[in-house]
Structure 1
Amino acid sequence: MIVAQSSASRIAAHAVLLTGAITMVFPFLWMLLASATPQSEIFSGSLLPVPTIAGAVQNYGTALTAIPLLRFMMNGLIVCLAILVLQIVIAIPCGYALAKLSFPGRPLLLSAVLLGLLVPVQIPTVPIYIAVAKSGLLDSYAALILPWIISVFAIFMFRQFFVTFPNEVLDAARLDGFSELSIAWRIMLPAAWPAVASFSIFSIVAHWNDLYWPLVVTTNPDMMTPSLGIAYFRQSGEGAGQVGALMAGGVLVTAPLVAVFLFMQKHFIRGLVLGRH
């Protein structure tokens, strides 16, 4: 009886998970099929579009020529990598200090980091925009990058990871003459690669898909990021009503994120597990 109930529970759990997976994957499957389906046949009445080679050539050709999609993706790559590198450069020493150093005000600073996690990104938009505009940085990489170089999420995540690191190793490094910054970069950072991989996925996905801030500080099409570029294509004359081409653009913009996650998924899961304590 107990074995039968256990088997039934597992089957029910797998059924729920499978249903959820199909529900989440179906929109991406539809987008992929529609991106290779002729425009006149996308809404032909069938549940799933029927792709053809001619439809794929037409839709992907339109997506790549009607707008500078490759330029948008290059902008996204530059912005995401610059933000990620600067976030890690700032967050590693901060997380190390909060985890392993004793100094006055450390609990207060940690509380401030936790409070920062509760603040929506839209709250400081107006003062940051005014500062960017007054500095003459609108429609520039600086406007897209600088407001995001300090990540309280990264600081807290690395702090949680560093807390579990053995203090004996740090004491031995200090006896060998290592400075605190040397310990942070030469000892803690190599040990924190799983956490770095986990945070990298969070950061890249968030800023690659970000539509809100680029929409605020960017009007020049040459400076648009992928999400804003797709929205620009949808509203432009070339993209109006071109559902197949729009889906092709969506596939091209989404593919790098899928590749990054598949490449780093093992480190991503390990980083989440090790940093939960």
Structure 2
Amino acid sequence: MTAIEADLATMSTQESTSTPPAETSGRGEFPLHLVLFTIGIIVSTPIIVAIFTSFTSLNRILADPNSIWSAPWTFENYVSAWTATPFGRFMINSFIQTGIITIAQVTFSILAGFAFAIFRFPGRNILFGIVLGSLMVPFELTFIPNFILISNLGWANTYQGLTIPFLASAFGVFMLRQFFMALPRDLYEAAKIDGASDWYYLWRIMVPLSKGAISALTIFSFLGAWNQYLWPLVITNEESMRTAQIGIRFFMANQERAFDWGAIMAGATIVMLPTLLVFLVAQKQLVKGIAMSGLKG
């Protein structure tokens, strides 16, 4: 057995023999559960209303807003929202933008977090302090300089303009650096004794051990990129480069009569669906990643 295999076996044994958390009284947790349930209802109500409204015709909504809760329901609003504007193109743009930003943020965060956690080099703490300091700078402060730079480079109405300002995440670097530092240093030293390179250790050992934290960061990056509104609105003025969020706003602006709230909510539901699916599928990894990372170091 190599040194690295021995260390991994020790870590596995420690995890399996750790004392399970003490069970708490269900009666004592009832007030907390009641508060969480109430908060959940408040947060989810707008989403539920939007979904039910998307299946209700405009005439029924105007006649009786409460009619959204009863049949008959219709899919005509989704057809109207999809065909009234090039919604398919908007969704493709959003997926491309979100995919590029998410992959770049996760990759750069893994590499930078590994460097700050493992390597000892002059100025490491200063550089990490700069990374932390950038978290304190509001996006609005850098908005105009970013816009001027992107415009001067000729990247308006391009995927470069939509994505490049967001390819790195200071929060992601901080989060993964803290998690990597929580892993035993002996694991790295054992890998070096076995002749493993830093690159091998990162991708074959550290990344698999950090799947929870990386999954959480991936979800955060996806949600942040998908929900962008202000930057795509300013940096694009061609319909072919609009994202889905901007598409809903232009769909509302192009309506000649009173707002068709059913169609508007259908468009909002279409845009909201990817984020809901990502959260429902990966919520266990999200909670586990946050709990495992613990932001400790």
TM-score by length of 1: 0.91
Quickly say closer, same or farther: Cα 1:238–1:153, change in 2 above 3 A.
farther
Matches within 5 A, 1:80-119: 80-119=98-137
Alignment of 1:193-272 (within 5 A): 193-237=211-255, 241-272=259-290
Q: CA RMSD in A?
A: 1.9
SS at match of 1:137: coil
Structure 1 residues 238 and 145, CA gap change in structure 2 (3 angstroms): farther
Secondary structure of 1:42's counterpart equals helix
**Where do 5+ consecutive residues of structure 1 fail to align?**
1-5
Structure 2 match to 1:44: 63
Of 167, 170, 173, the match for 2:185: 167
Q: Deviations over 1:88-144 (max 9, x none)?
A: 221111101111211111111221111111111121111111111111110011101
The reply to whether residue 20 of structure 1 matches residue 43 of structure 2 is: no
Which stretches in structure 2 are left out of the alignment for 5+ residues?
1-24
Report if aligned partners of 1:36, 1:51 keep a CA contact under 8 Å in 2: no
Q: State how many pairs are aligned.
A: 271
Identity %: 34
Residue 239 to residue 184, structure 1, CA distance change in 2 (3 Å): farther
1:120 aligns with 2:133: no
Q: Is 1:134 equivalent to 2:139 in the alignment? A: no
Q: What SS does structure 2 have at the residue aligned with 1:256?
A: helix
CA deviation after TM superposition for structure 1 residue 238, in Å: 6.0
SS at match of 1:241: coil
SS where residue 178 of structure 1 aligns? coil
Q: Which amino acid aligns with 1:152?
A: A
CA shift, 1:176, in A, is: 2.9
Superposed CA deviations along residues 164-196 of structure 1, whole A, max 9, x for unmatched, are 112122112222333323322232222221111
TM-score by length of 2: 0.85
Measured after TM superposition, the shift of residue 239 of structure 1 is 8.2
Counterpart-to-counterpart distance in 2, 1:123 and 1:240:
37
Q: Tell me the equivalent position of 2:90.
A: 72
Letter of the structure 2 residue corresponding to residue 179 of structure 1: S
Query: How far apart, in 1, do the equivalents of 2:253 and 2:209 lie?
Result: 47
- Tell me, yes or no, if the aligned pair for 1:59 and 1:245 is still in contact at 8 Å: yes
* Partner Cα distance (2:70, 2:268) in 1: 16
Aligned partners of 1:121 and 1:51: how far apart in 2?
Answer: 43
Verify the 8 A CA contact 1:214 1:225 in the aligned structure 2. yes
Q: Aligned partner of 1:20: which letter?
A: I
Q: Deviations over 1:194-239 (max 9, x none)?
A: 1111011111111111101101101111111121111121112368
